[in-house]
Structure 1
Amino acid sequence: MASSSPWTDWQWENAVAGSVAGLATVTFTHPLDVVRTRFQVYDGRNPNLPCYKNTPHALFTIARSEGIRGLYSGFCPAVLGSTISWGLYFYFYNNAKQRYLKSRDKTGARIHLASAAEAGGLVCLITNPIWVVKTRLQLQTPQNQFRPYTGVGDALKTILRDEGWRAFYRGLVPGLFLVAHGAIQFTAYEELRKLIIDFRHKQVPSKEKSSKLLTTIDYATLGAGSKLTAILATYPFQVIRSRLQQRPTKDAALRYIDSSHAMKKTAEFEGVKGFYRGITANLLKNLPAASITFIVYENVLKLLKRTNKN
């Protein structure tokens, strides 16, 4: 009998399901992601950054002045990054969870927390260059002081030529802190999911499979609830990461040098609200996005498992 590998076990199905879920999510929510990024980097000091009153005003202004292309700026790296990130995240997460379950050195919520942290760290290291390019493309506006990037390839080439390879890892430190976002989200999701299944077990026959106890509405609610918890806890790190990943301004006084400098300047000039710029667009984007992601993920996973058995 041939020995099994991670890709012959069920983990590969999680990678495929995660990738499909990520692609579906980013396609429907990208305009809000553009708005969120532009709000995050606006600090009131840089005249080359657009100022919007609120999320509807930002969407209307971008659509009027830049067209659909503006609302979908950075879409290609967003699709690439989201698809790769979700695929790798679900794969690394479930692989780690199975490993911890076998070793029995962690139990319950600690397994989910450790698995999510491990997966998030690995994904962050692999995908950071993609998010740098996405952020740069999303921030290209009519007020831009630089020659615009013509696309992903031009952005990669220009960043490497003008700033060196280190620029692709700007924002890595707050990105690694954002590993806590995934850890919080997945821990909340798994624990809430377990509570609902345990509750439903009391209402259905004992032989009923746990996968049949949850509905699409359950997956949507679980996804949104776990995402809200994670956003509120970790959003300031997203703001700092975006500010570090933006294209360096020609005015050295307006640049953010590193994470501690960005945090200091944000607190000094904007106070607490500076760390939560763009959170409305972020919630509008991510709460339904999380619901879509987990609905697609759970249903694609079920389909793949059924197909694999046949």
Structure 2
Amino acid sequence: MPAVRSVDWQWENATAGAVAGLATATFTHPLDVVRTRFQVHDGRTSMLPAYRNTPHALYTITRLEGIRGLYAGFYPAVLGSTISWSLYFYFYSKAKQRYLKDRKELTPGLHLASAAEAGALVCFCTNPIWLVKTRLQLQSPLHQIRPYSGFHDALITIMKEEGWRAFYKGLLPGLFLQVTHGAIQFTAYEELRKVVVNWRFDKNERTSGTADNLLDSIDYATLGASSKIAAILLTYPFQVIRARLQQRPSTAGIPRYVDSWHVVKETARFEGVRGFYRGITANLLKNVPAASVTFIVYENVLNMLKLARRDY
């Protein structure tokens, strides 16, 4: 059997991650729109309707804007999700392999470092895409500013009106979010994965088998959901801060928030702790099942690629 080069496995991880990200974004986008609109609704002047809860938001958006409103920003969401997951799994796998050079297995700290490194790299690559997605999702019939007609129009308009630096608004909270969220999620996933394998099989069976055949799709779904809940609860305020920074400036070109600290002060002053968790219900409804789907697809696609390589 031919030797497997590490770079081949890295690209297989990237492929599995890309497929997983595409599947996730396709089925959960309406909840992403609702979450984003809740995040920026600070109870003061707003060009968005007021929503009572997630079902009311879904109903109101459909009534006022049609199905198209529920899929505002879908193209950059799919593009960003696909690129992010692909790059994340690629960088994460590459970091783990580097740390594994002189070790039999990684410690929780090294899993954390691998995930943090991957998150930081992905954030720098994808922030402009997420900014455009946020802006498209926040457009509504109540806006007086000329709406973006789509992804490419948004890119051109932002560059023309605000300059290239605008594409990196929200980068700082986005960086904290990517590093901490991914680190917590992947560390929890890896450690819970070990617990499940160790609990299900005794020592002799573990030495003769691998995680590829010890876990099934239900296990991957449960592990993915559990790790996602932990990550969301601990990092959600960063999402609110980023979304508020990425809003489109007013007709006078004045941004609603100057920087991350301004968001923190104003949110704490007018809304309290609750303000930092606006939209979390929609976020959980979107991301917990999405995490399950993502890890089911990722693990199964990766196993298929491994089988195909063995057959080859």
Do they fold alike, i.e. is TM over 0.5? yes
- Residue 181 of structure 1 is matched in structure 2 by 181
Give the superposition deviation at 1:255.
1.0
Residue identity (%): 69
On the 8 A contact 1:227/1:286 being kept in 2, the answer is: yes
Q: Distance in 2 between matches of 1:101 and 1:123?
A: 22
With structure 2 as the length reference, what TM-score do the two structures score? 0.95
The 5-angstrom pairing of residues 212-251 of structure 1 reads: 212-250=213-251
Q: Distance in 2 between matches of 1:246 and 1:281?
A: 19
Q: Distance in 1 between matches of 2:169 and 2:253?
A: 17
- Residue 194 of structure 2 is matched in structure 1 by 194
Give the superposition deviation at 1:199.
1.6
- Residue 89 of structure 2 is matched in structure 1 by 90
SS of the equivalent of 1:145 reads: coil
Give the superposition deviation at 1:212.
1.0
Deviation per CA, 1:151-196: give whole Å up to 9, x if none: 1110000000000000000000001111100000000000000111
On the 8 A contact 1:45/1:254 being kept in 2, the answer is: no
Q: Which amino acid aligns with 2:150?
A: G
On the 8 A contact 1:101/1:111 being kept in 2, the answer is: no
The verdict on how the C-alpha distance between 1:10 and 1:268 changes in structure 2, with shifts beyond 3 A counting, is: same
Give the superposition deviation at 1:104.
4.8
SS of the equivalent of 2:59 reads: helix
- Residue 101 of structure 1 is matched in structure 2 by 100
- Residue 160 of structure 1 is matched in structure 2 by 159
1:22 and 2:1 equivalent? no
- Residue 270 of structure 1 is matched in structure 2 by 271
Deviation per CA, 1:222-273: give whole Å up to 9, x if none: 0000000000000000000000011012478871000001111111111111
- Residue 209 of structure 2 is matched in structure 1 by 208
Give the superposition deviation at 1:213.
1.0
Q: Distance in 2 between matches of 1:140 and 1:156?
A: 15
1:31 and 2:30 equivalent? yes
With structure 1 as the length reference, what TM-score do the two structures score? 0.95
Give the superposition deviation at 1:145.
2.2
Give the superposition deviation at 1:198.
1.4
Q: Distance in 1 between matches of 2:118 and 2:172?
A: 16
Give the superposition deviation at 1:208.
2.5
Give the superposition deviation at 1:204.
7.4
- Runs in 1 of length 4+ with deviation above 4 angstroms? 2-6, 103-107, 251-254
- Residue 129 of structure 2 is matched in structure 1 by 130
1:300 and 2:277 equivalent? no
On the 8 A contact 1:266/1:274 being kept in 2, the answer is: yes
Q: Distance in 2 between matches of 1:129 and 1:105?
A: 39
- Structure 2's unaligned 5+ residue stretches are none
Deviation per CA, 1:5-49: give whole Å up to 9, x if none: 653x31111000000000000000000000000000001112312
Q: Which amino acid aligns with 1:125?
A: F
Q: Which amino acid aligns with 2:310?
A: K
SS of the equivalent of 1:224 reads: helix
Q: Distance in 2 between matches of 1:162 and 1:18?
A: 35
The verdict on how the C-alpha distance between 1:259 and 1:99 changes in structure 2, with shifts beyond 3 A counting, is: same
Give the superposition deviation at 1:215.
1.4
RMSD (Å) for aligned C-alpha atoms: 1.9
On the 8 A contact 1:223/1:290 being kept in 2, the answer is: yes
SS of the equivalent of 1:191 reads: helix
Q: Distance in 2 between matches of 1:107 and 1:79?
A: 32
Give the superposition deviation at 1:210.
2.3
On the 8 A contact 2:247/2:256 being kept in 1, the answer is: no
The 5-angstrom pairing of residues 39-50 of structure 1 reads: 39-50=38-49
Q: Distance in 1 between matches of 2:106 and 2:203?
A: 26
Q: Distance in 2 between matches of 1:150 and 1:156?
A: 10
- Structure 1's unaligned 5+ residue stretches are none
The 5-angstrom pairing of residues 69-88 of structure 1 reads: 69-88=68-87
Q: Which amino acid aligns with 1:190?
A: E
The verdict on how the C-alpha distance between 1:106 and 1:45 changes in structure 2, with shifts beyond 3 A counting, is: farther
Q: Distance in 1 between matches of 2:309 and 2:104?
A: 31
On the 8 A contact 2:247/2:255 being kept in 1, the answer is: no
Q: Which amino acid aligns with 1:278?
A: G
Q: Distance in 2 between matches of 1:103 and 1:170?
A: 40
1:289 and 2:283 equivalent? no
Q: Which amino acid aligns with 2:202?
A: K
Deviation per CA, 1:52-96: give whole Å up to 9, x if none: 000000001111111111000000000000000000000000100
Q: Distance in 2 between matches of 1:154 and 1:253?
A: 21
